Amino acid sequence: ESCPSIKNILLLDSEGNRVAVKYYSDEWPNNSVKEAFEKSLFTKTQKTNARTEDYVFNEVGGRVIPWIEPGRVSNEDLNTTEIAMFESHIIVYKFVQDLHFFVTGAENENELILVTVLQGFFDAVGLLLRGTVDKKEALENLDLILLCLDEIVDGGIILETDANVIAGKVASHSIDAAAPLSEQTISQALATAREHLARSLLK
Amino acid sequence: VDYSPFLGIEKGAVLQEARVFNDPQLDPRRCSQVITKLLYLLNQGETFTKVEATEVFFAVTKLFQSRDMGLRRMVYVIIKELSPSADEVIIVTSSLMKDMTSKTDMYRANAIRVLCRITDGTLLTQIERYLKQAIVDKNPVVASAALVSGIHLLQTNPEIVKRWSNEVQEAVQSRAALVQFHALALLHQIRQNDRLAVNKLVSSLTRGSVRSPLAQCLLIRYTSQVIRESTNDTQTGDRPFYDFLEGCLRHKAEMVIFEAARAITELNGVTSRELTPAITVLQLFLSSSKPVLRFAAVRTLNKVAMSHPTAVTNCNIDMESLISDQNRSIATLAITTLLKTGNESSVDRLMKQITNFMSDIADEFKIVVVDAIRSLCLKFPLKHRSLMNFLSNILREEGGFEYKKAIVDSIVILIRDIPEAKESGLLHLCEFIEDCEFTYLSTQILHFLGIEGPKTSDPSKYIRYIYNRVHLENATVRAGAVSTLAKFGAMVDGLKPRIFVLLRRCLFDNDDEVRDRATLYLNTLGGDGAVVETDEGVKEFLFGSLDVPLVNLENSLKNYDPSEKAFDINSVPKDVKIQPLAEKKATSKKPTGLGAPPPGPPSTVDAYEKLLSSIPEFASFGKLFKSSAPVELTEAETEYAVNVVKHIFDGHVVFQYNCSNTIPEQLLENVTVIVDASEAEEFAEVYSKPLRQLPYDSPGQTFVAFEKPEGVSAVGKFSNMLRFIVKEVDPSTGEVEDDGVEDEYQLEDLELVAADYMLKVGVSNFRNAWESMGVDFEHVDEYGLGPRDSLAEAVNAVINLLGMQPCEGTEVVPPNSRSHTCLLSGVYIGNVKVLVRLQFGLDGPKDVAMKLAVRSEDETVSDAIHEIVASG
């Protein structure tokens, strides 16, 4: 099939354990096969320099706002995106703190398309976690991470690659237009509350 | 321990918590948290039982009552994860359909994705109208959701999705980048079987108007496809759409530039003029600071180097600097590219660089390098010394089995193909087995030494290495070493006394296989250890290859009944395949009241032999060489069904016609086949055995035998006429009328071809077999096969023409290959072993050229194989 396709997107921690993963291909028929793949991929990619040490966000009006110009991918970011052939797949990946981001595609896939997806995921997570990109923060906001995965790829087909759009869709708290006024205020209030409650989620 | 909000999470407890979904007053935040926990469990690989999943699903459907958007989004995600069954889907259908028509874009987009994911075809017709609207929705998220869902649905419900082409076509013009990408992907998939439509699509879009880089990549792929299927302009020699691809090299997105460069390098029969701009772009990527760009470029150039090494030489300097690349994948690709493009003078420098590099890469990369070095050595045989040294050095270093095997295989190939490298190569192997932890490699090398060692100028120097194995190794290797020693003794008369001394020592080994081998060799080599020549027959017996398949030998030995009569190896069938007769038709309607049915048709080669030997007239024909698979001589569902098996003997051919009568009201008598052999000049009919009776649904055989020149693979065409006396039968009583009428029935023609004289007999190790066959009766020639559909088709055609057994899986041609080597083996009439090495290459876009190398035990047979190809 000539349409580019994504086989999986993985977010693993510093020991190779799952934070969130999504498989779009049936090449990995069950969980143990998936876990074995993740483990060996993680081991293989450890000795690389796919690490982003300084994840800098733009400062706007005295506040640190994680905003990336639409369509722009900074050179610094791409420099730390690494690539490997692994079990007849092409895998692009980058690491930050104790989080490891991977995107897998077919052996003959255009490597730069895979990078676009990885970058979209990576930056969107950065935006959604407001710059504090680590495992603890990711788990506490797991709902956002899962929604983020849902917005990037649908059944292997790339849905969106622009980090701002992805994060915008995930974090949208706009009001249900069909809701009556009284309810609108409630959901508005809830939306605001949600921001504060996000960190205490699941406690 | 790291803090985790999911610490100690437990499925049972979470399922309990999910009861909040049923609360009359929903708490959206709480519900979202529970869904997150459920998703976490699923994501960690936890599974829900059918009952649990159903319960969760029903509870989740209650949540559509809440108007909280955040919660609704989580609901959409978990419905997809639970992948509900058809009867469950019905429960959420109306809620989702409502969301699909909502004013909120997010609802519309997500409801479409969820509904299309979980629905089956029946619902699709109901929502089709909304989906068509959604495709042209002004909100790009909604349009993309509908288009992507369309791509998925096209797999299961193509006839419905194809009705949306007008809308999809409109969406291709969208200003939103991703909508354009999704629309183009779907439109192409809808039209992919309509060549003209794809051509039109590409023609109009390549003139501009594609905005999204992803869509542009798609367009490049579709364009390449159109180029593949069209022919060059015969007047100017220009390739259609090449200008478009070249233009894409100047696109602002690297993704598009690379896609175009790669597409150009993969054009069929690409010229160096066409390649140049693509190579230039890729060369720039090589020095990029981004690992992904370097990787993509070097990987593409590596492929180009296989077919157009000179086109890549300009990049050699950039490649050399990549040898030290941090990313070892890039470094390995750079090295193997250099090994393909490098010239003779650069070999030594290159080897020095690689030596430093080898120590810090993984085995899988090392194997790639070893393979590349082997090819390089075959290309520059004069450099064998430094390349062989390199191989022997890395052979001494640490490494796993696959890696060591790759090195050993390479050394063996170099020894085989470069005579000057033989002696040093053998000594390297000898040194290796002194300290080799892999039994398989040790025995393989010992076997190889047994073949090559005796032919060297000083065979005695290998004896020490071999005999050391007898002291120091496990039983398998010891037994191998004993056989190798014996081979030296048999081949080199002067060494025989020494070998006998060593073999006698092996008689006290504590392993019985080792003792048995030593005993066998001591008793058969003859001369009692004196310097005498070993009898040729003994050599053949001990070291000649077995010309019967091991499976057959095993079967025959199992069936052998220990008695006065010795086991005869000639009784073992040589055919690999068991060939059942064509299936008897209409087995279900057994006739009743016609007495016991005749014995079923013979089903194996053994059975054929038994059947033929029961006919006295065939007794003088000798041993059956081969029986063909049945060839149908009638169409299916005709009154009389006839197929034929061709039995080949040295000086005769017997056609066995398997006939069956499918008319219950008829009995055929005195059934014969009248064969006209006027188009088969070398054949003379000697005997025809009629079939006395052919009742309804009870098959029988009639035979016709021909004499032909002995040992010659005579070919020809035979036309066949079934002749018989037909008698009326009352099917209810089975009563047969007395009077019959003579009648005839035209059958299809039958051909005897060269492949009928070839037995498919595989060899376990082609290279060894090829080597030991030697070049005495080698015949090599080249052939042009003309334009072919594909390389694979050409390979298949030649295999079928020769009727030989493909070895080592070489009948499979990897897609997009420009060349292929296929190995075949077989036994030709007269029991002559034949090995064939076929090398195919694409010459231009479609023309296939072939180099055919035949080795056999008989010169005339080698020539005959060429004759088959030349006349085929």
What is the SS3 assignment for B227-294? HHHCCCCCCCCCCCCHHHHHHHCCCCCHHHHHHHHHHHHCCCCCCHHHHHHHHHHHHHHHCCCCHHHH
Taking an 8 Å cut-off on Cβ atoms, the answer to whether B327 and A82 are in contact is yes
Same domain, B719 and B617: yes
Residues in chain B with CB shorter than 8 Å from the CB of A111 are 258, 292, 295-296, 299
Q: Who among B67, B102, B217 is closest to A183 (CB)? A: B67
Q: What is the CATH number of the domain that holds B661?
A: 2.60.40.1480
What's the sign of the alpha-carbon dihedral B345, B346, B348, B349?
positive
| pLDDT tens digit sequence for B642-670 | 999 999 988 899 999 999 988 888 899 99
> Is B388 in a helix, a strand, or coil?
helix
Residue B350 confidence (pLDDT) = 81
Nearest residue of B to residue A161 by CA position? B178
Among the listed residues B452, B465, B440, the one whose alpha carbon sits nearest the alpha carbon of residue B413: B452
Supply the Cα-derived Rg of chain A in whole angstroms. Answer: 18
Residues in chain A with CB shorter than 8 Å from the CB of B248 are none
Q: Give dist(CA B449, CA B444) in Å, integer.
A: 9
Among the listed residues B310, B318, B386, B325, the one whose alpha carbon sits nearest the alpha carbon of residue B357: B325
CA distances from B674 to B641, B688, B689, B722 (A): 16, 9, 11, 6
Nearest residue of B to residue A145 by CA position? B36
Q: Residues B743, B678: contact at Cβ < 8 Å?
A: no
Question: Residue B256 corresponds to which tokens in the numbers above?
Answer: 């598009």
Segment B314-335 shows an average pLDDT of 87
Instruction: Answer with the residue of higher pLDDT: B307 or B726.
Output: B726
Taking an 8 Å cut-off on Cβ atoms, the answer to whether B39 and A146 are in contact is yes
> Is B432 in a helix, a strand, or coil?
helix
Interface test with B, best of A143, A160, A161, A170 (most B CBs within 10 A): A143
Same domain, B837 and B783: yes
Segment A43-49 shows an average pLDDT of 76
Among the listed residues B834, B594, B555, the one whose alpha carbon sits nearest the alpha carbon of residue B731: B594
- Asked which of B332-341, B400-409, B714-723 is least confident by mean pLDDT, the reply is B332-341
Q: Enumerate residues 6+ apart whose C-beta is below 8 A from B175.
A: B211
Q: Who among B3, B43, B103 is closest to A21 (CB)? A: B43
The segment with the largest mean pLDDT, out of A57-66, B276-285, B366-375, B701-710, is B276-285
Among the listed residues B752, B758, B694, the one whose alpha carbon sits nearest the alpha carbon of residue B720: B752
Residue type, B106: M
Interface test with B, best of A46, A170, A176, A201 (most B CBs within 10 A): A176
- Asked which of A65-69, B37-41, B276-280, B363-367 is least confident by mean pLDDT, the reply is A65-69
Q: Is the minimum CB–CB distance between B531 and chain A shorter than 8 Å?
A: no
CA distance B45 to chain A (A): 6
Q: Note the pTM of the prediction, 2 decimals.
A: 0.63
Q: Which of B691, B726, B752 lies at the terminal end of a domain, its last residue? A: B752
Instruction: Answer with the residue of higher pLDDT: B460 or B235.
Output: B460
Length of chain A: 203
Length of chain B: 872
Q: Residues A153, A159: contact at Cβ < 8 Å?
A: yes
Interface test with A, best of B43, B180, B219 (most A CBs within 10 A): B43
Q: Give dist(CA B113, CA B96) in Å, integer.
A: 10
Residue A67 confidence (pLDDT) = 43
What's the sign of the alpha-carbon dihedral B850, B855, B856, B859?
positive
| pLDDT tens digit sequence for B687-722 | 999 998 898 888 889 999 999 888 777 888 999 999
Instruction: Answer with the residue of higher pLDDT: B843 or B267.
Output: B267
Instruction: Answer with the residue of higher pLDDT: B872 or B125.
Output: B125
What is the SS3 assignment for chain A? CCCCCEEEEEEEECCCCEEEEEECCCCCCCHHHHHHHHHHHHHHCCCCCCECCCCCCEEECCEEECCCCCCCCCHHHHHCCEEEEECCEEEEEEEECCEEEEEEEECCCCHHHHHHHHHHHHHHHHHHCCCCCCHHHHHHCHHHHHHHHHHHEECCEECCCCHHHHHHHHHCCCCCCCCCHHHHHHHHHHHHHHHHHHHHCCC
- Asked which of B457-466, B506-515, B620-629 is least confident by mean pLDDT, the reply is B620-629
Q: How far is CA B504 from the centre of its chain?
A: 48
Q: Is residue B198 part of a domain?
A: no
Q: Which of B508, B543, B578 lies at the terminal end of a domain, its last residue? A: B543
- Asked which of A69-73, A162-166, B178-182, B355-359 is least confident by mean pLDDT, the reply is A69-73
Number of domains in chain B: 3
Q: Is residue B837 part of a domain?
A: yes
Q: Measured at the alpha carbon of residue B554, what is the angle toward residues B552 and B556, in degrees to the nearest 5?
A: 70
User: Residue B531 belongs to what domain range?
Assistant: 466-543
Q: Is residue B491 part of a domain?
A: yes
| pLDDT tens digit sequence for B32-74 | 999 999 999 999 999 999 889 999 999 999 999 988 888 999 9
Q: What is the CATH number of the domain that holds B859?
A: 3.30.310.10
The DSSP 8-state label assigned to residue B326 in this structure reads: S
Beta bridge partners of A65: A58
- Asked which of B52-66, B556-570, B672-686, B708-722 is least confident by mean pLDDT, the reply is B556-570
Residues in chain A with CB shorter than 8 Å from the CB of B181 are 158
Segment A86-114 shows an average pLDDT of 92
Domains and their CATH numbers in chain A: 6-202 (3.30.450.60)
Residue B290 half-sphere exposure toward CB, CA atoms < 13 A: 20
Q: Is the minimum CB–CB distance between B66 and chain A shorter than 8 Å?
A: no
| pLDDT tens digit sequence for B170-214 | 999 998 999 999 999 999 999 988 888 888 889 888 887 788 999
Same domain, B733 and B817: no
H or E stretch covering B146: helix B140-156
First to last CA, chain A: 46
| pLDDT tens digit sequence for B574-603 | 765 433 333 333 333 333 333 333 333 434
Taking an 8 Å cut-off on Cβ atoms, the answer to whether B259 and A82 are in contact is no
Same domain, B783 and B760: yes
Q: Give dist(CA B446, CA B465) in Å, integer.
A: 10
Tokens 């073999």 appear where? B503
H or E stretch covering B720: strand B716-730
Tokens 């976490």 appear where? B40
| pLDDT tens digit sequence for A173-186 | 543 333 333 343 44
Percent of chain B scoring above 70 in pLDDT: 94
pLDDT band of B238, cuts 50, 70, 90? confident
Q: Give dist(CA B735, CA B753) in Å, integer.
A: 44
Residue A19 half-sphere exposure toward CB, CA atoms < 13 A: 30
> Is B789 in a helix, a strand, or coil?
coil
Q: Residues B867, B813: contact at Cβ < 8 Å?
A: no
Residues in chain B with CB shorter than 8 Å from the CB of A174 are 69, 106
Residue A66 confidence (pLDDT) = 44
- Asked which of B484-498, B539-553, B566-580, B764-778 is least confident by mean pLDDT, the reply is B566-580
CA distance B364 to chain A (A): 10
Q: How far is CA B466 from the centre of its chain?
A: 38
Q: Give dist(CA B106, CA B125) in Å, integer.
A: 23
The overall longest dimension of chain A from CA atoms, in Å, is 57
Q: Enumerate residues 6+ apart whose C-beta is below 8 A from B16.
A: none
Residue type, B523: N
First to last CA, chain B: 75
H or E stretch covering B746: strand B735-746
Question: Residue B397 corresponds to which tokens in the numbers above?
Answer: 């270093």
Q: Is residue B711 part of a domain?
A: yes
Q: Is residue B808 part of a domain?
A: yes
Q: Give dist(CA B727, CA B740) in Å, integer.
A: 4
Does the pLDDT value for residue A78 go beyond 60? no
Q: Residues B272, B308: contact at Cβ < 8 Å?
A: yes
Instruction: Answer with the residue of higher pLDDT: B241 or B526.
Output: B241
Q: How far is CA B709 from the centre of its chain?
A: 39
CA distances from A49 to A43, B96, B431, B481, B842 (A): 14, 46, 40, 49, 42
| pLDDT tens digit sequence for A3-19 | 899 999 999 999 999 99
Residue type, B167: E
Q: Enumerate residues 6+ apart whose C-beta is below 8 A from B23.
A: none
Segment B801-828 shows an average pLDDT of 85
Residues in chain B with CB shorter than 8 Å from the CB of A113 are 214, 217, 255
Does the pLDDT value for residue B490 go beyond 80? yes
Q: Which B residues, 189 through 218, put their C-beta within 8 Å of a C-beta on chain A?
A: 189, 214, 217-218
Same domain, B740 and B620: yes
Same domain, B785 and B801: yes
Does the pLDDT value for residue A191 go beyond 60? no
Segment A107-115 shows an average pLDDT of 94
CA distances from B143 to B100, B106, B181 (A): 12, 11, 11
Same domain, B637 and B747: yes
Tokens 């047979």 appear where? B861
Question: Residue B100 corresponds to which tokens in the numbers above?
Answer: 């699909």
Residue type, B334: A
Q: Is residue B673 part of a domain?
A: yes
Same domain, B831 and B766: yes
Among the listed residues B716, B690, B714, the one whose alpha carbon sits nearest the alpha carbon of residue B701: B690
Same domain, B760 and B832: yes
- Asked which of B489-493, B635-639, B853-857 is least confident by mean pLDDT, the reply is B635-639
Q: What is the CATH number of the domain that holds B523?
A: 1.25.10
Q: Enumerate residues 6+ apart whose C-beta is below 8 A from B642.
A: B632, B633, B634, B657, B658, B659, B660, B673, B720, B722, B747
pLDDT band of B408, cuts 50, 70, 90? very high
Q: Which B residues, 304 through 363, put their C-beta within 8 Å of a C-beta on chain A?
A: 326-327, 329
Q: Who among A34, A116, A202 is closest to B37 (CB)? A: A202
What's the mean pLDDT when you consider all of chain B? 86
Does the pLDDT value for residue A83 go beyond 80? yes
Backbone dihedral region for residue B529 (phi beyond 0: left; psi -120 to 50: alpha; all else: beta): left
Q: Is residue B581 part of a domain?
A: no
Residue B446 confidence (pLDDT) = 94
Same domain, B737 and B768: no
**Would you list the DSSP string of B615-647?**
SGGGGGG-S--EEPPPEE-S-TT-SEEEEEEEE
> Is B705 in a helix, a strand, or coil?
strand
Does the pLDDT value for residue A120 go beyond 50? yes
Residue B143 confidence (pLDDT) = 95
Q: Is residue B727 part of a domain?
A: yes
Same domain, B648 and B671: yes
Q: Which of B717, B752, B787 lies at the terminal end of a domain, its last residue? A: B752
Q: Give dist(CA B683, CA B719) in Å, integer.
A: 13
Same domain, B735 and B802: no
Does the pLDDT value for residue B228 go beyond 70? yes
Residue B768 confidence (pLDDT) = 80
The Cβ of residue B148 has, within 10 Å, a number of other Cβ atoms equal to: 25
Q: Give dist(CA B402, CA B400) in Å, integer.
A: 6
Q: Give dist(CA B488, CA A191) in Å, integer.
A: 88
